[in-house]
């Protein structure tokens, strides 16, 4: 089978510009402008079973990253942070996609571009590390998909992953990074090794939405990009030109402020540097986290403990020149871990968020989604059924509540 570079050149025969993009000199040249984060997925350890636990051998993964802002070049952030051994990636391609139905592996072969790493096709990411690709000169539009294919010779061992991706991922046997899509079958809706995509753009910077399952989008419609950060990104794009910002989702289902939780991620304190401070072009962060600490502890985690973590995260963000928007914790009466003590703690934390002045701004999600007739519960029209997570309509209401000027 031909090497990816040879096959890409063949696919682009007669297109001089495409051939130019495949030369090492072009892919390693620094593009003009600033890098801004356009897509992110906060990574965790592998699950106890399933594809992430088993890992991959001689497999091509195809994943879809929905970009918030486009640009004139892209670069990938690959993660082996939770790997048990070095991760060998034999080849990677990307293809912009703005005219193909979501939820498919299909790409236009003529738009495929090879991704390089220090000028070469292969890269080995050490265990515990991340790796950023060379720039790929490629025009991508706002609010569109970038399809990322990576061939993993393997065996990879347990995979660094993001379980609640709500975007269909695909796999094919062997080397299929330049396949149009026919070779691929559905894998699941998780993400593997792909932690982010940056673009070169005129946008002002990026905003990170940092939190737990509500930020992660549990259980939003798969392949519809209806998490509340996605819907907020749509609002931002309605503003003209450089007043736009990239939107990065750093939510992890089950995540906590104080406690590491395996596949639910390291504590917010432990992961804040990687998932917020190390992202490209960050101007602000929206912090919505703490309900899992309160709920899983049955109310034994005191409000002062939650507030102390908030203060730490605020200080660390401010040291990096990043604004912090505090979000009130949403209602959870009726959820499996609700207690009266936990509700009292939620109210105490929310009072501090609203009145302390510690945040640069506040978004009152509690007021947005609560039932006006029973304020300790989610409004029925926004409740997906578990009395904890908003549905797509609830996420839309949350997205509308975030102040555009407060974050970008």
Least confidently predicted of 50-54, 237-241, 317-321? 237-241
| 74 vs 35: CA distance, rounded Å | 9
Segment 200-215 mean pLDDT: 95
Could you tell me if 369 and 330 are in contact, meaning their C-beta atoms sit under 8 angstroms apart?
Answer: yes
Could you tell me if 247 and 18 are in contact, meaning their C-beta atoms sit under 8 angstroms apart?
Answer: no
**290: exposed, middle or buried (Cβ count in 10 Å: 0-12, 13-18, 19+):** buried
Q: What is the pLDDT of residue 242?
A: 64
Could you tell me if 322 and 285 are in contact, meaning their C-beta atoms sit under 8 angstroms apart?
Answer: yes
Residue 212: both structure tokens together: 């737990």
Q: What is the pLDDT of residue 263?
A: 87
Phi, psi of 275 (to 5 degrees): -85, -10
Q: What is the pLDDT of residue 248?
A: 98
Across the strands, what pairs with 148? Answer: 63, 94
Segment 131-157 mean pLDDT: 97
Segment 26-32 mean pLDDT: 41
Beta strand ranges found along 294-405 (DSSP E): 323-327, 361-363, 370-371, 374-378
pLDDT digits (tens, 9 = 90+) for 221-234: 999 999 999 999 99
Q: Kindly report the average pLDDT of the chain as a whole number.
A: 92
Could you tell me if 207 and 245 are in contact, meaning their C-beta atoms sit under 8 angstroms apart?
Answer: yes
Whose CA is closest to 116, among 93, 86, 98? Answer: 93
Does the structure show a pLDDT above 60 at 13? Answer: no
Share of the chain above pLDDT 70, in %: 91
252 contacts: CB under 8 Å, gap ≥ 6: 42, 44, 162, 164, 212, 213, 216, 264, 265, 271
Segment 380-404 mean pLDDT: 97
Q: Does domain 203-407 have CATH number 3.40.50.300?
A: no
pLDDT digits (tens, 9 = 90+) for 342-369: 999 999 999 999 999 999 999 999 999 9
What are the structural domain ranges in the chain? Answer: 4-17+26-195, 203-407
Q: What is the pLDDT of residue 24?
A: 35
Q: What is the pLDDT of residue 122?
A: 97
| 369 vs 382: CA distance, rounded Å | 7
Instruction: pLDDT band for 299, please (50, 70, 90 cuts).
Output: confident
Q: What is the pLDDT of residue 262?
A: 84
Does the structure show a pLDDT above 50 at 26? Answer: no
Instruction: pLDDT band for 18, please (50, 70, 90 cuts).
Output: very low
Could you tell me if 201 and 69 are in contact, meaning their C-beta atoms sit under 8 angstroms apart?
Answer: yes
Instruction: pLDDT band for 62, please (50, 70, 90 cuts).
Output: very high
- Say which residue the tokens 């894998």 belong to: 187
Q: What is the pLDDT of residue 3?
A: 59
- Say which residue the tokens 């602000």 belong to: 284
Q: What is the pLDDT of residue 5?
A: 57
Segment 123-129 mean pLDDT: 98
Whose CA is closest to 264, among 302, 295, 285? Answer: 295
pLDDT digits (tens, 9 = 90+) for 236-277: 998 876 678 999 999 999 999 999 988 899 999 999 999 999
Q: What is the pLDDT of residue 14?
A: 34
Could you tell me if 70 and 203 are in contact, meaning their C-beta atoms sit under 8 angstroms apart?
Answer: no
Does the structure show a pLDDT above 50 at 338? Answer: yes
Does the structure show a pLDDT above 50 at 295? Answer: yes
Give the CA-trace dihedral at 51, 52, 54, 60, to 10 degrees.
Answer: 70
Instruction: pLDDT band for 203, please (50, 70, 90 cuts).
Output: confident
| Collapsed DSSP state (helix, strand, coil) of residue 66 | strand
């Amino acid at each position: 089978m031909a090497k990816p570079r040879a096959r890409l050149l063949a696919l682009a025969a007669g297109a001089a510009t495409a051939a130019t993009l495949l030369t090492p000199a072009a892919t390693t040249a620094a593009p003009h402008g600033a890098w801004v984060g356009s897509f992110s997925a906060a990574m965790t350890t592998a699950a106890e079973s399933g594809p992430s636990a088993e890992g991959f051998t001689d497999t091509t993964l195809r994943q879809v990253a929905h970009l918030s802002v486009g640009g004139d070049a892209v670069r990938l952030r690959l993660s082996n942070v939770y790997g048990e051994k070095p991760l060998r990636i034999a080849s990677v391609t990307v293809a912009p996609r703005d005219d193909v139905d979501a939820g498919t592996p299909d790409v236009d072969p003529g738009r495929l571009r090879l991704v390089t790493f220090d000028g070469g096709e292969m890269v080995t990411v050490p265990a515990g590390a991340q790796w950023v690709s060379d720039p790929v000169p490629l025009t991508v539009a706002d609010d569109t998909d970038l399809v990322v294919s990576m061939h993993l010779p393997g065996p990879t061992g347990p995979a660094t992953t993001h379980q609640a991706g709500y975007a269909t991922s695909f796999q094919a046997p062997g080397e299929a990074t330049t396949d149009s899509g026919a070779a691929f079958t559905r894998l699941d809706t998780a993400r593997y090794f792909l932690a982010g995509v940056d673009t070169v753009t005129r946008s002002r910077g990026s905003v990170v939405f940092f939190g737990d399952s509500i930020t992660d989008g549990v259980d939003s419609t798969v392949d519809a990009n209806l998490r509340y950060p996605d819907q907020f990104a749509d609002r931002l794009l309605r503003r003209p030109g450089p007043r736009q910002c990239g939107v990065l989702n750093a939510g992890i289902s089950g995540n906590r402020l104080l406690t590491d939780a395996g596949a639910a991620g390291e504590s917010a304190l432990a992961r804040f540097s990687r998932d917020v401070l190390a992202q490209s072009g960050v101007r602000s962060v929206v912090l919505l986290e703490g309900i899992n600490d309160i709920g899983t502890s049955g109310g034994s985690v005191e409000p002062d403990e939650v507030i102390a973590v908030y203060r730490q995260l605020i200080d660390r963000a401010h040291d990096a020149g990043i604004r912090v928007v505090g979000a009130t914790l949403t209602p959870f009466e009726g959820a499996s871990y609700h207690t009266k003590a936990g509700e009292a703690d939620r109210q105490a934390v929310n009072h501090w968020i609203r009145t302390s002045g510690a945040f640069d701004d506040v978004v009152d999600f509690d007021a947005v989604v609560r039932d006006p007739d029973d304020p300790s519960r989610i409004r029925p029209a926004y409740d997906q059924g578990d009395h904890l997570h908003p549905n797509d309509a609830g996420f839309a209401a949350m997205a509308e509540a975030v102040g555009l000027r407060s974050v970008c």
